[in-house]
Structure 1
Amino acid sequence: MPLNDLITADAILPALRVNTKKSALHEMSERAAAVSGLGAREIYDAVLQRERLGSTGVGNGIAIPHGKLVNCGRIVGVFARLERPIEFESLDGAPVDLAFLLVAPEASGADHLKALARIARVLREPRIVAKLRATRDAAGLYGVLTQQQASTNAA
């Protein structure tokens, strides 16, 4: 599953200014609502509910918050590069500065898991993470996320 199937150029937040995990999830939910047509509160509530089960901060300054919604028609992603790292209760205790929010249909099952696995694979790649941290504009971040997919397919 290519990342450009999950995210669009207008779903990138290149310099998100937040101080808390909840405010980051709120801002990312607002953007997800704008690109998906779903309700921002509905997205935020689903993501927050999942977060209560355990932090989606996977380590190395990266979080992959996600949730499922009944009326969601397709998997939608939002990527944020935070201006300052924030506490996220990550597995390794490190603050988060890169987050990829994913919203999926309630019945998406394996597709949801494949999307999460794909995002995790990309964000585990040190070269990609370094580029994401160094890039300051939305178009550049989108390019790093989606160009990587093309190079993976060619290999």
Structure 2
Amino acid sequence: MPLHDLLSRARVAILDGHAVETGASDGAPALVRVLAAAAWLLADGGNPAPLAQALREREARASTALGEGVAIPHARVAGLDECRAAFLRLEHPVEFEAPDRRPVDLVLALLVPEHDVTAQLHRLAEIADRFADPDYRAALRTARDASDLRRLLGGSGPDFLPCAA
């Protein structure tokens, strides 16, 4: 399954709201709000709460930031039948405790079925490799809109990140 299938049209977004930047009135840290936004996209209209919790629990163990403004929050989820991904470009970068101390503005959230450890490791390695390219990161940062982002993430290019190992 190509990345654009994992992402789907509705799972690519540009977040520009001040709620993420400031933590909003409920006092939630910006990182928690980013993970909640990713979970909402990943839920496909279902309940995002357990997905947000899984992403928060994983992030609490160790930062999923790679550096260079990129993070790959990920979790294995019980009851999930197939891999899902969501991409968010943040107009207001968020602190993710990255190794290079840079705030994150490119987030690719990944969920995999709980039993599929191999698929998770495989996907993470492929995503990290893809986001290691500075030209690719620059293109994502300068994309005009979500449609351009979808194209850059694989919608009209070669397939990558197949769900099956």
TM-score (structure 2 length as normaliser): 0.84
Aligned match for 1:34, one of 44, 52, 71: 44
Q: What is the Cα deviation at residue 10 of structure 1?
A: 1.5
Higher helix share: 1
> Structure 2 regions of 5+ residues with no counterpart?
22-29, 161-165
Tell whether the 8 Å contact from 1:3 to 1:149 is kept in structure 2 after alignment: no
Aligned equivalents of 1:139, 1:47: Cα separation in 2:
26
* Residue aligned with 1:77, SS: strand
Aligned equivalents of 1:5, 1:106: Cα separation in 2:
20
Distance 1:111 1:11, change over 3 A: same
Aligned equivalents of 1:43, 1:26: Cα separation in 2:
8
* Residue aligned with 1:6, SS: helix
Q: Do residues 109 (structure 1) and 117 (structure 2) align?
A: yes
Query: 1:24: which partner in 2?
Result: 34
Tell whether the 8 Å contact from 1:61 to 1:96 is kept in structure 2 after alignment: yes
* Residue aligned with 1:150, SS: coil
Q: Which aligned pairs between 1:24-103 and structure 2 lie closer than 5 A?
A: 24-34=34-44, 37=46, 39-103=47-111
**Among the aligned pairs, what percent are the same residue?**
33
Distance 1:44 1:81, change over 3 A: same
C-alpha RMSD of matched pairs (Å): 1.8
TM-score (structure 1 length as normaliser): 0.89
> Structure 1 regions of 5+ residues with no counterpart?
none
Aligned equivalents of 1:117, 1:74: Cα separation in 2:
18
